[in-house]
A and B are shown apart, each in its own frame.
Chain A
Amino acid sequence: DTGVSQDPRHKITKRGQNVTFRCDPISEHNRLYWYRQTLGQGPEFLTYFQNEAQLEKSRLLSDRFSAERPKGSFSTLEIQRTEQGDSAMYLCASSLGAGFTGELFFGEGSRLTVL
């Protein structure tokens, strides 16, 4: 399968723990995006990378959220000291090119439940 893959698909954790999600984009795509989606809402943009450079991170929800894409391939999204309000689906997407016409290809998401 050559689509966007995310791991784990489901994560249950206790409040205060750290969690990390991984995203492997489509191999030739240079852009990678992270979104959060809560129940009944549309995806909310968090951050994005072009190759290894994080070009937009002002929309990360708090300083507990951080993302990396160290070699311009896979990316990780870490949430430190999780809170119950962090429970959501975390979606990763990738795209090719710099134009504004390019569609984003999404993974199936990582669902986080914070107890």
Chain B
Amino acid sequence: AQKITQTQPGMFVQEKEAVTLDCTYDTSDPSYGLFWYKQPSSGEMIFLIYQGSYDQQNATEGRYSLNFQKARKSANLVISASQLGDSAMYFCAMREANQAGTALIFGKGTTLSVSS
């Protein structure tokens, strides 16, 4: 069964610094997709970035990049130049290709706090 592990309950960073949020996953399917979502205190889940298992390059979206290490089964989110508005919960999620119809499976999340 697929599984997502986020081992950092909370992370603290100062404005303008970079931060890495860890995510490891477990799957036996060679085809899968990895996602990161942000959930601010308002509660809405906001999609940040996607990485496919066959993508040769690490995904990037503005200040977000995904450090994808397939052999280690890790998909860490890197946020560069942190901003106060980045303070939120961050969730890593995965969907396997052979279960394309099913929903994303989420990790427990990491709370990021950005200070000035």
A associates with B: yes
Say yes or no: A43-B101 contact (C-beta < 8 A), given A108-B42, A108-B44.
no
Tally B residues with Cβ within 8 Å of A: 30
Give the total number of A-B pairs whose CB atoms are below 8 A apart: 67
Say yes or no: A103-B50 contact (C-beta < 8 A), given A55-B101, A56-B102, A108-B43.
yes
B108 touches A42 (CB 8 A): yes
* A-contact 0/1 string along B87-116, CB 8 Å cutoff: 000010101110111111111110000000
Tally A residues with Cβ within 8 Å of B: 28
Chain B residues positioned under 8 Å from A104 (CB to CB): 45, 47, 103-104
Cβ contact of A42, chosen from B50, B96, B97, B106, cutoff 8 A: B106
Cβ contact of A45, chosen from B91, B97, B104, cutoff 8 A: B104
Residues of B within 8 A of A (CB): 4, 31-33, 35, 37, 42-47, 50, 52, 91, 93, 95-97, 99-109
